[in-house]
């Protein structure tokens, strides 16, 4: 079972900011549990992200998933995720920090 990142390794302020961005932009397609909505549930996504693309760290993979979702499409899902390349670096960092907590 994937586990969420230990709490002391999370920048809480950034993660809270990411939670807000996620609620507005991501939650309509993603559950924070394991169930499928349009996209895969994000429970344990940071652990999964470590293994997705050879040569990409978990952070790099998550950033790529947000700005260039078509670069790697999760098996058995349609390529329906829009790019969020208009987010600032800080917004993206906040989202990644939040995803670490799931
Ligand atoms: C219109 C629906 C939709 C929206 C909105 C959306 N996604 Fe997705 N997302 C998907 C789908 C479908 C997939 C699976 C196909 C793929 O990999 O592109 C996916 C895949 C992902 C993955 C890869 C998961 C994995 O297991 O490898 C991440 C990470 C992700 N989305 C994050 C986000 C974040 C963060 C947001 C908000 C900024 C967001 N998504 C908004 C539909 C969406």
Angle at 46 between CA 28 and CA 59, to 5 degrees: 100
Per-residue tokens: 91:
């917004």
For the cut 90, the answer to whether the pLDDT of residue 6 exceeds it is: no
Angle at 13 between CA 3 and CA 74, to 5 degrees: 40
Q: CB of 18 closer than 6 A to ligand 1?
A: no
2 — pLDDT class (breaks 50, 70, 90): low
CB-based contacts of 15, cutoff 8 Å, min separation 6: 94, 97, 98, 100, 101
pLDDT, tens digit, 9 for 90 and up, residues 52-65 = 999 999 999 999 99
The closest residue, in CA terms, to atom 40 on ligand 1 is: 26
Q: CB of 31 closer than 6 A to ligand 1?
A: no
Q: CB of 87 closer than 6 A to ligand 1?
A: no
Distance between CA atoms of 8 and 6, rounded to whole angstroms?
6
Per-residue tokens: 63:
């950033």
Mutate to test the pocket of ligand 1, among 41, 59, 81 (most ligand atoms within 8 A of CB): 81
């Amino acid at each position: 079972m994937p586990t969420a990142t230990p709490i002391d390794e999370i920048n809480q302020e950034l993660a809270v900011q990411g939670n807000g961005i996620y609620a507005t932009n991501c939650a309509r397609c993603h559950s924070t549990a394991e169930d499928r909505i349009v996209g895969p549930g994000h429970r344990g996504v940071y652990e999964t992200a470590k293994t997705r693309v050879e040569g990409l760290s978990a952070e790099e993979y998550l950033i790529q998933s947000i700005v260039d979702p078509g670069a790697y499409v999760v098996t058995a899902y349609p390529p329906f995720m829009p790019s969020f390349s208009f987010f600032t670096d800080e917004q993206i960092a906040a989202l990644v920090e939040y995803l670490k907590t799931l």
